[in-house]
Amino acid sequence: MTATATTRDVVGPGTKVGLRRVPRWGQALFVLGIWVLVWAVMRGQDTLILPGQAKTGLHDSMSQWKSDLIAGRDDNAFMQFTGWIADQIEAVGTWLQELVSEPAPPRPVPEIGWFGVVAVASWVGFAVAGWRIALLVLGSFLAFGLLGYWEDSMDTLIITFFSVAVALVVGLPLAVLMAKSTRVTAVVAPVLDLLQTMPSFNYLLPVFLFFGLGIPAGVVATVIYCTPPVVRIAAHGIRSVSGTTVEATDSVGQTRWQRLRKVELPMAKSTIVVGINQTTLAALAIVIIGGFINMPGLGGPVLDALTGQQTGNAFVSGLCIVIMAIMLDRTTTAASVHGEKLARSGTFDPRRHRIVLAVTGAVALVCVYYSRTYLKLAEFPESALGPAIGREMAMKVQSFADWFTSTFDAWTTAIKDVVSTFLLNPLQDLIANSPWYVTAVALTMLALVVSGLRPALITVVCLTGLYLSDLWNDSMITLTMTLVGALIVMILALVLGVAMARRPGVDLVLRPVLDAAQVMPAFVYLIPTLLLFGPTRFTAIVAGVIYAAPIAIKLVADGIARVSATTVEAAVSSGSTAWQVITKVQLPMARGNVVLAVNQGLLYVLSVVVIGGLVGAGALGYDSVLGFSQSQYFGKGIAAAGCIVLLGIMLDRFARGAVERQQRNNDILTRRPISGAI
């Protein structure tokens, strides 16, 4: 991609000047204006609406294909292969479940009771990240039990760890290969790109087809979704190991293997652990969504509670997810620096440390033994302190929620109505109620004007796919929701990002909140928004905004913070007002990051808006869920999944094209005088 970019900017100065005459936003507005005019005349024609329960021949034939595939499962080699893999995963999964969460026959309880599990988990926390983390782990595990979700929490953890283990076994060698070979990178990087563009939700349906329901499908979907981060980040870490150090250690005659093991991997270790952290959180996110395909774990109860409008239960099970996310995040983050921190502390004595680990480990094993002997230590006790807490909390939250909704209903409805009337409805009217060909041409023109020829071509391809899927109208509604969400995200990002960058105090307060918010699986955000706004598309948009805002805000803030202090000083010394500094210096110089924030905003909102199909957002998300739940709608669900991918690619390339174009312009502007001097 970069290669074409460079060849194209050779065309350079002449064309540049031509384009500059009318700025890009002006051209975009022009396109938009014409679109509105055409829409006013042709509104409502050829909108290709397909009602929720309706399906087309295409969808039916795909459902049929699925039925045939499943009927022919015993003859089809590929299906046999996936079936075999599913069996293996199932076996390991069941074994793990019987170890810590499910009764292991002939025992009425798991092999290791809660007491043993808590002890071992805390010990692991201590060993990898120190006693603070051990306490955090201890507290978290006790909370799972006390809130009444011990089994579900254990299931979620099992599948998360299982998937992360597989992801690392596959991902780390791949990362090393990528770091070493540009050819491997050229092949693997685009695949990773695509995998990361797709909303997590989308992996479920195809996986469900080949691996059935439950743990196997869950693990496969999770592995596919959570492997890319660690590959990408670890490869980056290995590649950025200082060349001087590699050369210096080469000069004493090390072999390649010694170089990898003694120099590159240790030096990239903390980056690799960041990758593991990202992978773990991604895995958790999808394990939760896996409730859709009957995956054991916390996803199920949350999903049930959401569909049944039981805010209290949703809150308590959601709380378990939040605790788990924080626990996993803190533990992996602390683990990345723990070893070196110990060694640097000065008073560190490796032998004593080993003895402490051995003794505490023995204590944990004793706890395991007791948990196998006493029933009270095996099953989380149902007592005044037991799961009753969770139930009580659920009831309190429920009554609070009822009170809240009845009291503030007017307010939330007002907010919802204002956004719907002035933003959502008009935009949806324009995009979804224009004749499909008008919308298609308009979107392509916008891509061409804003992002360039390549993104425009990709837009054409994606739009063609959407048209062929027979889900044009639903796609356009989902697109509208995504755009509205991203717009709100960007308003938040610009306001808060600028505030963070300009005022250290704001940064100090906001950053930890954003960091914590980024750790949560998207699904969790549906719970409070559902409470506030009820089951509507607006709920999904708000959840998407909450999910996408942290990354966008941070990108803007970091982009502005990176603007050279000297430049800002120069602007201030020439008498600029604060507003002028922001609009004329800081934002333009941070434009790359701002556009990147738009990109991330669009993709994040899309992924949540789709999950929101469950809580009344309708459109593509709803079509997908229908595909899981009812066999005859499978074809429509798959088509919807395809549409979501196409929308994701289209939005991603659109925003990315804008960034690249931006950077090219900057390059040309900054390079020209230098090359002139030579």
Partner 1 sequence: MSTTAEHEASQRLTNGHDATNAAVSVRALWKVFGPKAEQIVGSPEATLSRSELMTRTGCTVAVNDVSFDVAPGEVFVVMGLSGSGKSTLIRCLTRLIEPTAGEVLLDGEDVRDMSDTRLRELRRTHVSMVFQHFGLLPHRQVIDNVAYGLEIRGAKKKERHARAKEMVDLVGLTGYERSYPDQLSGGMQQRVGLARALAVDPSVMLFDEPFSALDPLIRRDMQKEVIRLHEEVGKTMVFVTHDLQEALKLGDRILIMRDGAVVQIGTPAEVVAQPADDYVRDFVSDVPRSHVLTLRYVMREPRPSDSDEGPVMSPDTIVRQAARAALASAHPVRVVENGQVIGIVDDDAILRVVVAEEGAPA
Q: Give the interface with partner 1 as residue ranges (CB under 8 A).
A: 242, 244-255, 258, 262-263, 266-267, 269, 340, 343-344
Long-range interactions of 298-305: CB distance < 8 A, separation 24+: 298/149, 298/152, 298/153, 298/155, 298/156, 298/324, 299/156, 299/523, 300/152, 301/149, 301/152, 302/523, 302/524, 302/527, 303/614
Q: Which is nearer to partner 1, 88 or 242 (CB)?
A: 242
Q: Which is nearer to partner 1, 48 or 337 (CB)?
A: 337
* Nearest distance in Å: CB 4, partner 1: 20
State how far the Cα of 133 lies from the Cα of 129, in Å rounded to an integer.
6
* Nearest distance in Å: CB 252, partner 1: 4
Cβ atoms within 10 Å, residue 463? 23
Take residue 630 and report the two structure tokens written for it: 């009812």
* Nearest distance in Å: CB 336, partner 1: 12
Q: Which is nearer to partner 1, 246 or 326 (CB)?
A: 246
User: Counting every residue, how long is the chain?
Assistant: 678
Q: Which is nearer to partner 1, 263 or 476 (CB)?
A: 263
Quote the Cα angle for 404-407-408, to 5°. Answer: 80
* Nearest distance in Å: CB 270, partner 1: 9
Residue 160's Cβ-side half-sphere holds a number of Cα atoms within 13 Å equal to: 29
Do residues 547 and 608 lie in contact, with contact meaning Cβ atoms separated by under 8 Å?
Answer: yes
Region at 12 (left for phi over 0; alpha for psi -120 to 50; beta for the rest): left
* Nearest distance in Å: CB 266, partner 1: 5
Q: Which is nearer to partner 1, 251 or 670 (CB)?
A: 251
Do residues 109 and 126 lie in contact, with contact meaning Cβ atoms separated by under 8 Å?
Answer: no
Backbone angles phi, psi at 27, to 5 degrees: -60, -40
Q: Which is nearer to partner 1, 336 or 478 (CB)?
A: 336
* Nearest distance in Å: CB 168, partner 1: 20
Helices (H), 101-214: 114-129, 131-146, 150-180, 182-197, 204-211
Q: Which is nearer to partner 1, 164 or 274 (CB)?
A: 274
* Nearest distance in Å: CB 342, partner 1: 12
* Nearest distance in Å: CB 248, partner 1: 3
Q: Which is nearer to partner 1, 248 or 668 (CB)?
A: 248
* Nearest distance in Å: CB 340, partner 1: 7
Q: Which is nearer to partner 1, 51 or 676 (CB)?
A: 676
Question: Which residues, in sequence order, are CB contacts of 218 under 8 Å at separation 6+?
Answer: 159, 163, 287, 290, 293, 295, 296, 297
Query: Using H for helix, E for strand and C for coil, what is the string for 318-338?
Result: HHHHHHHHHHHHHHHHHHHHH
